[in-house]
Structure 1
């Protein structure tokens, strides 16, 4: 169930350039994983997941020169950093009793960005794809927290069971069980609503 790398063979070169201060290379790293990161944070963060993502990227930028590893290690480091920022944000909110909720993504901005990046893409297709993704994330968000987080890290983050287990201070077997139970629960929800996968 491992997600294929997006940058692939170019990863070492892109990472090296980003570590030397190349903004274009850092932007490529950001574009590769930020959509997945935001989806993950929308499930595990109780606050404004855009703010938590910004804190995550700021932390990653500060530590980028010290990072060593391949693309899988990069994604694991990024999601571990995001998880820590989400936990910190939750603690701050609990202390201050601030229960503000983020506004989510503006579809108009998304369509403009996609049109600029790929002029041949139909904005209607972007809206439909965005809606499907949001519905899937909402369904995962309805799961018990552990199952939701495991599924987001595995499916959206593209992390292996071993990496997820290390992030969650668990075992790979427990991660696989949580993923299986989460998928089974999602399947039952779809059966109840009459939706066929």
Structure 2
């Protein structure tokens, strides 16, 4: 299939990458796994054996109402937690074929809905925010934008850092969460070829 390149001739790409059927179930699974991998999982609570305090019996067994042992029991204020949370990993296993399939599905959906724009280059040589704002307006890209450029110059990163919801990423660093949440994805031809080679 062909993808239009703004300001240049169309480029041939693989149907398996940019013409794939959208798999919502697969994309959802990969997005959830990707986000879970970023969770630190450092929540920690104390069990009754870890609470600082005495284990002495709090009162006599008989004659004082309900029978209790140590005040570190979970029913007392300041006592331990019954099923205490401990540091753990939230990582989920996603094999390579699933991840690549989800990425191809996302890119295909972006292409179908007109949210994927291909350009030769961004043409930003100086770190001027106004230059990038004008370029985005020219490309009719608004909202949350992901700019994908292969070996992007530092000037592009500096020009984009003061624009809300505009992120510059290298072609090898694209992730499903950013693509799913983007209103527009602007990609250079070089990045397009690298991504196609990776996902084909």
TM (norm. structure 2) is 0.24
TM (norm. structure 1) is 0.24
Larger radius of gyration: 2
Greater strand fraction, Structure 1 or Structure 2 = 2
Greater helix fraction, Structure 1 or Structure 2 = 1
